[in-house]
Structure 1
Amino acid sequence: MKKMKHLGTLTAITGLALLLTGCVQRTKSGKPYGFIYDYLAVPTQHIMNWLANLLGGSYGWAIIAVTFIIRMILLPMMVEQSRKATVQQEKMAYIKPQLTAIQQKQKNATTNEEKAAVSQQMMALYKDNGISMTGGMGCLPILIQFPVFAALYAAIQYSPELSSGSHSLFMGFNLGQPNFMLAALSFLVYLLQGWLGTLGIPQEQKKSMMSMMIISPLMIFFISFRAPAGLALYFFVGGIFACIQTLIIYFYRPRIRASVEAEMKKNPPKVVVPEEPVVAAKPQASNSIARDHLSNRKRNAGKQQHRPKK
């Protein structure tokens, strides 16, 4: 489930990034226009200009301020969504024996009817035990970030102040041009966030998360490296907030685990797939042959005892 959540997030962000590159159109003279630019980028540019004037003319600090405000607004919602996802992970441990049995049936299913029946069992297992198929992580936090991401992407890409002049410099970085260093920092901070997300979870779940823990930062690096460094700065600061959010859940996990354990004691997991009866092992062939040979010897001895004397 965690893997599905990360995969959905990556697909959404990547698709949005590809979409944004073609949404803002240009006139023959090079002036940008379109819905994204007119209604998202331009207001964001005004906000950034206002913040930059308050912060000594630094657009770098203006981007950090915008990121801080957005993340602080989203932090309670993101923490709550992460808490729900953690509850789902803890509940999964209680239905694992049944889940394993269903997965084995999926491998052995040959006909469409058998596959459909197994899928129904899987859905019933999740539904009857109050577990979400998506892992409890809703799409609302991601959807809320879409317009913010779109606004910042277009605002930074087409900002006159960031395209040239001293305003585009921040700690030696040109925020209007792609920068490998900021992209690499974004990669590292999201790699750290992924590693923090594996703390305190079973080893089996860690193995399933390892691939996504690498792919997610790589996608962030790819987007950051191709975009202006101002967007990479937004990702970097946002990644720091993501690490803080993950640490909050890590320290809160023991309480979540105790709560789920108490709930499972009151309401044990509903059995959808009964356990298979244990079948006694068949005797080995060598033992069977030995018993047959001994039985034959006894019968032959009995015949010799009853044979009449001449």
Structure 2
Amino acid sequence: MKSIKRFALSAMGVAMLLVLTGCVSVDKATGKPIGFIWNTIGAPMAEAIKYFATDKGLGFGVAIIIVTIIVRLIILPLGIYQSWKATLHSEKMNALKHVLEPHQTRLKEATTQEEKLEAQQALFAAQKEHGISMFGGVGCFPILLQMPFFSAIYFAAQHTEGVAQASYLGIPLGSPSMILAACAGVLYYLQSLLSLHGVEDETQRDQIKKMAYVSPVMIAGFSLISPASVTLYWVVGGFMMILQQFIVNYIVRPKLRKKVREELAKNPPKARSFSTPNGRKDVTPEQPTAITSKKKHKNRNAGKQRSR
């Protein structure tokens, strides 16, 4: 479990870097964004920021807020779908806890590598049987579709002509802002806390609580070394993430919980138990049958010997 958590933390850090920089190339000579993603998505976003800021006279701060909201609303269905898959996985895990727990206990108490491998295979087989993904049910496709938009708006907020010389509410947009960095960290922390809503399994809750500090700290850390224009984009993104989490908590999750319970009520799964390495008598139903038949066989032989 510890190695899985370390892998998850590392993956989150790499994913954050990929989201911010992986989809848009930067010209080494000029330092300006280039490439297909920038030309097709980023440059139009930059033009939209300039339009609201200069043509409409709203200023670059308000322009970044408007464009960020528009982009977030466009990709909101992808985010909700991603959350829907993760929530479905969570609800299935909660409902099938009595089925998976014997396998997890067997894996935890395994003493040899062979026993651990056998327990892992049994756990994966049980998860597959009940449609539970070992990767949490999230999937890569929705994330990959969102990455170009995140990367493009990140560079648009930073490299739009005129934004570095502008200010918003007295905050220079061309230099880092501790105030906006703190706001971004708090908002992403609140979103992480909201994600705990409805999670009944204590193990999952503990994992979410531990991971809840990672994203806010990373966002705040990046904000302290990024222009305030980028941090403003993250602040607005934090508000939109909270909105998405409210939709998941109070609309998506209740429907999925009802759906999972109805499916399991029609076809209730049966828990299986296993003999554990420490010798406790916790066996499958097939094992007592084998022992009984063996005893009967011995009794028959004993009777024949007495008759002689």
Go from structure 1 to structure 2 and tell me whether the alpha carbon gap of 1:38 and 1:137 turns closer, same or farther (over 3 Å shift).
closer
Contact 1:48 1:59 in 2 (8 A): yes
User: Helix, strand or coil for the counterpart of 1:56?
Assistant: coil
Contact 1:32 1:158 in 2 (8 A): yes
User: Helix, strand or coil for the counterpart of 1:177?
Assistant: coil
Measure how far apart 1:222 and its partner are.
1.3
Go from structure 1 to structure 2 and tell me whether the alpha carbon gap of 1:203 and 1:108 turns closer, same or farther (over 3 Å shift).
closer
Point out where structure 2 has 5 or more consecutive residues left out of the alignment: 283-308
Tell me the alpha carbon deviations over residues 90-117 of structure 1, each in whole angstroms, 9 at most, x when there is no partner. 1112332343322333234344433332
Contact 2:193 2:212 in 1 (8 A): yes
Pick from 11, 15, 25: which aligns with 1:12?
15
Contact 1:6 1:216 in 2 (8 A): no
Q: In structure 2, what is the equivalent of residue 156 of structure 1? A: 157
Q: In structure 2, what is the equivalent of residue 244 of structure 1? A: 243
Tell me the alpha carbon deviations over residues 186-216 of structure 1, each in whole angstroms, 9 at most, x when there is no partner. 1111111111111222260322211111111
Contact 2:95 2:260 in 1 (8 A): no
Q: In structure 2, what is the equivalent of residue 90 of structure 1? A: 91
Q: In structure 2, what is the equivalent of residue 292 of structure 1? A: none
CA distance in 2, matches of 1:158, 1:84: 35
Q: In structure 2, what is the equivalent of residue 174 of structure 1? A: 172
TM (norm. structure 2) is: 0.76
Q: In structure 1, what is the equivalent of residue 289 of structure 2? A: none
Go from structure 1 to structure 2 and tell me whether the alpha carbon gap of 1:227 and 1:207 turns closer, same or farther (over 3 Å shift).
same
Report the number of matched residues.
Answer: 273
TM (norm. structure 1) is: 0.76
CA distance in 2, matches of 1:31, 1:169: 22
The amino acid across from 2:105 in the alignment is: Q
Contact 1:200 1:250 in 2 (8 A): yes
Q: In structure 1, what is the equivalent of residue 295 of structure 2? A: none
The amino acid across from 1:194 in the alignment is: S
Q: In structure 2, what is the equivalent of residue 106 of structure 1? A: 107
Measure how far apart 1:36 and its partner are.
7.3
Measure how far apart 1:156 and its partner are.
3.4
Go from structure 1 to structure 2 and tell me whether the alpha carbon gap of 1:6 and 1:200 turns closer, same or farther (over 3 Å shift).
farther
CA distance in 1, matches of 2:248, 2:37: 37
Tell me the alpha carbon deviations over residues 10-61 of structure 1, each in whole angstroms, 9 at most, x when there is no partner. 430134446589x52342xx56364379636544322321232343151112
Go from structure 1 to structure 2 and tell me whether the alpha carbon gap of 1:91 and 1:235 turns closer, same or farther (over 3 Å shift).
same
Contact 1:177 1:227 in 2 (8 A): yes
Go from structure 1 to structure 2 and tell me whether the alpha carbon gap of 1:199 and 1:47 turns closer, same or farther (over 3 Å shift).
same
Which structure has the greater CA radius of gyration? 1
What does 1:174-253 correspond to in 2, within 5 Å?
Answer: 174-202=172-200, 204=202, 205-252=204-251, 253=253
CA distance in 2, matches of 1:212, 1:7: 11
CA root-mean-square deviation: 3.1
Measure how far apart 1:184 and its partner are.
0.8
Q: In structure 2, what is the equivalent of residue 25 of structure 1? A: 27
Go from structure 1 to structure 2 and tell me whether the alpha carbon gap of 1:10 and 1:265 turns closer, same or farther (over 3 Å shift).
farther
What does 1:116-127 correspond to in 2, within 5 Å?
Answer: 116-127=117-128
